[in-house]
Amino acid sequence: MHEEKRNNIQEEKRVTTNGGSRFVYVLIGLGLGAIGGLMAALLVDKQPRELRERSGKSLDYLKRQAGKLRQTVEVILQEGKKLMPCKRSDSVVHSTEAEKQAYQEDRRENLGG
């Protein structure tokens, strides 16, 4: 009987020790999880900031390139206007008169008149 009490006491100590050690493991796990969460939050905050800076630089570059392209197109248009022999309004008038004549000729042929 005396030995049974001794075994019961040893089992109670094991249960208490296991329960106590489980609590310590839970606390250690919570601490590590909190540290990991804070580190992840800092990394996530840093990445969008860097992305915004890079995209801002890219937009500035694209704006500069668009400005250069616009200037080049303006120069090309000015040179093209110098090379054109007639004014646009004259060519529109001539093409409208030619269309009228073609329409009248087509009408005469189809109507027999």
Residue-wise pLDDT for 55-96, tens only, equals 889 889 999 999 999 999 898 888 888 887 655 555 556 677
Return mean pLDDT, the chain.
77
Q: Which residue range is the domain that position 58 belongs to?
A: 2-103
pTM of the model: 0.35
Q: Does the pLDDT at position 112 exceed 80?
A: no
110 is a domain residue: no
Counting every residue written for the chain, the total comes to 113
Domain count, the chain: 1
Q: Select the more confidently predicted residue: 66 or 11.
A: 66
Please give the structure tokens belonging to residue 14: 């094991």
62 is a domain residue: yes
For residue 17, the model assigns a pLDDT of 52
Please give the structure tokens belonging to residue 70: 């616009």
111 is a domain residue: no
Q: What distance, in Å, lies between the first and last C-alpha atoms of the chain?
A: 138
Q: Does the pLDDT at position 45 exceed 90?
A: no
12 is a domain residue: yes
